Amino acid sequence: MTNHYTVLADNPHIEKPLLDDRLYRLVKLKENDLTVLLISDPTADKSAASLDVGVGSFADKQYGISGLAHFCEHLLFMGTKKYPKENEYSNYLAKHSGHSNAYTAAEHTNYYFQVGSDYLEGALDRFAQFFISPLFSKTCQDREINAVDSENKKNLQNDTWRLFQLDKATSNPLHPYNGFSTGNFETLHEDPLASGLDVRDVLIKFYTQHYSANLMSLVILGKEDLDTLSEWAIEKFSAIPNKDYPRANYNGELIYKPGQLKKLIKAAPIKDDHKLELSFMVPDDMEAHWASKPHRYFSHLLGHESKGSLAYYLKQQGWSTDLSAGGMKVCQGCSLFYIEVQLTPQGLENWEEITKSTLEYVKFVTEDEPQSWIWKEIEEMTHINFKFKQKSEASSTVSGLSSKLFKFDGLIPPQHLLSDGVLRQFDPQLIREYGQYLVPDNLRVTLVSQSLTGLNKVEKWYKTKYAVEDILSDLVSPVGILHDFHYPEENAFIPSDFTVLSLGTAVVAPYVISASNKMNVWFKQDQTFKVPKGSINIALHLPSSNSDVLTSVLTSLSIELFNEEINDVNYYALMVGMRATLQTWRDGFVIKVSGYNDKLDTLLQHVLSELFAFKPSASSFESIKYKLLNSWKNFLFRDPYLQIGLHMVHLMNEKLYDQEDKIKTLEGVTFEQLQNHFHETIWKQGVFAEVLVHGNFDIAKARSIKNTISNSMKHVKPWMEEYDEKFHLEGYVLEPKETVRYEIQLKDEQNINSCVEYFIQIAPNADDLKLRVLTDLLCTIIKEPCFDQLRTKEQLGYVVFSGIHLGRTSLGFRILVQSERTCDYLQYRIEEFLRSFGNFVNHELTTEDFIKFKHALKNIKLTKLKHLSEETGRLWSSIVDGYYDFEGRTKQVEVLENVTKSEFIDFFNLYISKDDKTAKLITFLRSQNPIEFTEPKRLQAAIINYLYHNGVKVDHEFIQELVKSYQEDKNLSRVLDQLHTEIKTGDKEELFREVSKRLDAPVPDIYPTGELVVTHEQFRSNHKLGGKPRPVSPLTKFLYNDQSHL
């Protein structure tokens, strides 16, 4: 077998993290020059593979079609010669607890999947055909153009995409960075058509000229041994043709011509944000200087937030709320270095002073000698973090490695393929040379605000208004504030003790080591991951903190001010892999401290002592209030699918408040109100704390941490006279047989997308184990058909999702769709899909497939945890949700084993199919600017919907040809005659009647359905709370009594 490949690196020469028990082999296939990394992990319950192709959107320019590489990525999923059915690949993965995805970057395109570990070979065989014999079916072509167009429209109101495209649009037109990478209907259909081009022919040419084995990198991760994985790689991927193409080099042109530097770009955003960005064109050091990476030195110092830093100075002036700095690789050999400042209104007024101050700090750092002690700290933490790195999800592992594998074929020694991020060499000369690029002559400044005037240009693709001006010389002149700047202090949080404690008896659930009317402390020593890390979570229940919208807002503002107060110290901890966060949560707030356990108690003690002595700062009040207010306002300008879930959650749960009400309340808050709230109101009714100590701690350390927390709270009275588990907040539940329609108008007037979340309540209380399992099984079976029908076939929109919904106590199922179509239409199509899916469940779901879906769900339930923080999250959820169900997944699998197909059918018919018995909440997030669909699109939809309703399958290409012919002569009778002749079934008069009706009125008259609700008060006045969670076991079961338990 070794005759078929050359080994580039193998065990034990590949440098690995301390706890990495995987085996690696990096090879190059002799047959076609394909680079392959094989990873054997006998403990893996999920296998994965990824293939990265060394061509991306920068190649579009060569063919004159923007979005061509992205379009190619989409179409590869739509069938191959060996597996012609367009959803064969996704179906196989869905039945074996898998999933897949892909993305198109500038210089490469990355494809990956994950699947149950017993089914890797079958998935590999289907996956390999993408790169051997794709169909590029005409049937799918137009639909995938629409899918790309929908994906692009999803991003049109997103400022990140808009400003990124603006930077590209104002770059060198001779460099492919200048292009439009996503593509849309105009670039992929209208423009090629007008030029006499068949986009499919161009696509096949693109694929043929770039998809070559020597430009590909494959990573396979499975439980099999390396030899077996090698056999599969050879057998399935050797047929990928090698055309021996060179990897593209885009360094012939600079991304900015000299005349495009020293420019000020002003732009108007969608969100009400003020932002200043300084960007410098710099060389890419990721490969050429992989061992030293000089950009890391500057990103560390320019992005630091401690006293003496640029960020600290700007915040002290009241000019900034946040600052970040770092490099962004544009292409091989070229990068940009950014300093991005989030401005307050006062900062916007003083943006020129901020620019001068920033350049002054850059000058201070670049002109001083590189500090070896600073470098040593950065280098030390890269070594520590690599040494104790834990496993990540199989799909993210293979995707990440395949995207950089080409570097280890000559650029970086292959033994460092896992450790290329570790710094190894302090090179002050390289640092000095890199710093020479961070100068005004190499600078572009971007100022972003809705209040800017004189914006006389409009970017072509996203319609961003902007202006380009020369940077005046006085903007880059010194301002004489250097005395405010100095280097950070030495980091006292760098860990030095990495001892992993000896393990006690393995336990599933944590123990309660202290229980009282003031605090419960749960403890679990890590038995699995054996890393010197831990987490301490503290939920402070403070009923006075959230009694109405005003107290809720004041608590949120208090927390933001406190986080700013401790940011100086917290940032040092963050730099060494530790983190302290304080966030509002239900009826109080949650403190989470995590990272290397050596100094974790020190960080906790600092946070607690600061919290209970905290006095809100008047000097920070306005800027932090602005930051919070802006984040709440801007939430309402996010993509609809990212908003709608929170709108529903706020409606359905007590002590959560409408976003608009919170904004109005915060606008009127004064500093005096805040002071009174934090010093008096918030603690007034007392406190109850739930604590979890988890990780590399023993019982003595856990008790010490408990004492630290207890001592910090000694001046706060307990909330309850005696401990009572019924302190948890509740959620509202729907009445049986009712349908409620909750409507919200999208705040962004220009967003053309609407969104519907269709929620079916299965049970008001989620503690029915069998109902939970049946709902999970439904989600497993329905996921792929839902996506295939609503997104792929009906082309409703790029975002289609289905899954379980767990409220505070309730259990339900939901379908979410974001689309340019109206909410009424989306409800109609969702309900039609559920009706048709019911036919499938009752008449087409085979016993064999049902067993496969059960097995897929079982694999998902039994998926092994990959890292310590994942287990912490699961334990914490089981504590704070009030169920104490630490063995829930195991019990669910036991129930699943005995579920029969007939039970599932009965469940579906009772809880999903029967409109007169199901309880539904349908949330509409309506666009103010919906698109009027053209007659041909309405006709196509009417035909597809009629056929789908009647269970008739017709080739999509035939439907497209009918619609095209209608555009020519507008003869509907002829079109429908042809259609009836083709389908050879059904009543001709009914076909004519129904299609004609839906052509004129796409939505049946009965829609929208449900009792209309527009406010929280309206809904809550007619609905009851669902009750407190009922623990699966009493707290007393978990009390710790005997040290031998741990």
* CATH class of this structure's domain 2-237: alpha beta
**Token digits of residue 597:** 């356990």
- Per CATH, is 739-931+1006-1020 categorized as 3.40.50.300? no
pLDDT, averaged per 10 consecutive residues of the chain (1046 residues), comes to 87 93 96 98 97 98 97 95 93 95 97 97 98 92 92 95 98 96 97 95 97 98 98 98 94 92 97 97 87 96 96 95 95 93 98 95 95 97 96 96 90 93 96 96 97 98 98 79 84 95 86 94 95 97 93 96 94 94 93 96 95 91 96 96 96 95 97 90 91 96 97 89 79 94 96 97 91 98 96 93 94 97 97 96 97 96 93 96 94 97 97 85 96 89 90 85 88 90 83 90 94 96 93 92 52
Distance CA 998, CA 949 (A): 13
Which is nearest to 586 in space by CA: 536, 631, 554, 545? 545
| Catalytic residue from among 73, 690, 757, 820 | 73
Contact 695, 595 (CB under 8 A): no
Q: Angle at which helices 956-969 and 935-949 pack, to 10 degrees?
A: 140
Contact 818, 754 (CB under 8 A): yes
Distance CA 744, CA 756 (A): 10
Q: How far is CA 131 from the centre of its chain?
A: 28
Which is nearest to 562 in space by CA: 666, 674, 656? 674
Contact 774, 903 (CB under 8 A): yes
Contact 52, 110 (CB under 8 A): yes
Q: Which fold has domain 511-727?
A: Cytochrome Bc1 Complex; Chain A, domain 1 (3.30.830)
Contacts of 1029 by beta carbon, 8 Å cutoff, 6+ apart: 728, 767, 808, 809, 881, 882, 883
Sign of the CA dihedral 343, 348, 354, 356?
positive
Distance CA 796, CA 789 (A): 9
Sign of the CA dihedral 409, 411, 416, 418?
negative
Q: Which amino acid is at 794?
A: E
DSSP character string of 359-427: HHHHHHHHHSPP-HHHHHHHHHHHHHHHHTPPP--HHHHHHHHHTTGGGGTTTS-GGGTTTTTS-----
Distance CA 46, CA 268 (A): 46
Distance CA 242, CA 240 (A): 7
Q: Output b/e per residue, 544-563; b: 16+ Cβ within 10 A.
A: bbbbebbbbbbbbbbbbbbb
Which is nearest to 671 in space by CA: 598, 744, 619, 731? 619
Which is nearest to 201 in space by CA: 257, 138, 243, 245? 138
Contact 106, 330 (CB under 8 A): yes
Distance CA 390, CA 17 (A): 8
Distance CA 286, CA 434 (A): 12
Distance CA 311, CA 126 (A): 51
Distance CA 580, CA 599 (A): 12
**Token digits of residue 729:** 């907040």
- Model pLDDT for residues 415-431, shown as the tens digit of each residue: 999 999 999 999 999 99
Report phi then psi at 632, rounded to 5: -70, -40
Distance CA 583, CA 906 (A): 43
* CATH class of this structure's domain 258-370+426-484: alpha beta
**Token digits of residue 830:** 């969702």
Q: Which residue in this structure is represented by tokens 């067993």?
A: 851
Contact 799, 154 (CB under 8 A): yes
SS (H, E, C) 22-66: CEEEEEEECCCCCEEEEEECCCCCEEEEEEEECCCHHHHHHHCCC
Q: Is the peptide bond before 173 cis (omega within 30 degrees of 0)?
A: no
Contact 161, 121 (CB under 8 A): no
Contact 41, 220 (CB under 8 A): no
> Considering the entire predicted model, what is its pTM?
0.93
Contacts of 1005 by beta carbon, 8 Å cutoff, 6+ apart: none
Q: Which residue in this structure is represented by tokens 């494959």?
A: 218
Residue 1's pLDDT is 63
Distance CA 541, CA 591 (A): 11
- Model pLDDT for residues 187-217, shown as the tens digit of each residue: 999 999 999 999 999 999 999 999 999 999 9
Phi-psi category of 836—alpha, beta or left, where left has phi over 0 and alpha has psi -120 to 50?
Answer: alpha
Beta bridge partners of 112: 50, 101
Catalytic residue flag (residue 190): no
Distance CA 800, CA 794 (A): 11
| CB atoms inside a 10 Å sphere around CB 997 | 14
Residue 467's pLDDT is 98
